[in-house]
Amino acid sequence: MKKTQLTLIACALATLTLGACTPKVDVAKANYCSALNQYAAAVNNLNSLTATATVADYNKLQSVVNKTGDALDRAAKTLDKSEGKALSATSKRFDAEVNKIKSTETLAEAQIQIKAASDAAIAQYLKITETDCSYGADNPAK
- Write the pLDDT tens digit of every residue in 39-53: 999 999 999 999 999
Half-sphere exposure of 110 (CA within 13 A, CB side): 14
Considering the domain boundaries, does residue 122 fall inside one?
Answer: yes
Does residue 136 lie in a domain region? no
User: What does the pLDDT average to over 90-98?
Assistant: 89
Q: In the structure, what pLDDT confidence band is assigned to residue 89 with cuts at 50, 70 and 90?
A: confident
Residue 57 has pLDDT above 70, yes or no: yes
Is 98 within a domain? yes
What's the structural domain count of the chain? 1
* Any domain includes 141: no
CB neighbours of residue 100 within 10 Å = 13
Residue 47, domain extent: 2-129
pLDDT, position 6: 43
* Banded pLDDT at 18 (limits 50, 70, 90): very low
Residue 137 to residue 142: CA distance in whole angstroms: 12
What is the greatest pairwise CA distance in the chain?
80
The 10 Å Cβ neighbour count of residue 37 is: 19
Contact between 12 and 112 under an 8 Å Cβ cutoff? The reply is no
Q: Of all helices (H) and strands (E), which one includes residue 11?
A: helix 2-19
- Beta bridge partners, 51, equal none
Within-domain flag for 138: no
Q: What is the mean pLDDT of residues 105-125?
A: 88
Top-confidence residue, 110 or 1: 110
| pLDDT higher than 90, residue 13 | no
Residue 59 lies in a domain: yes
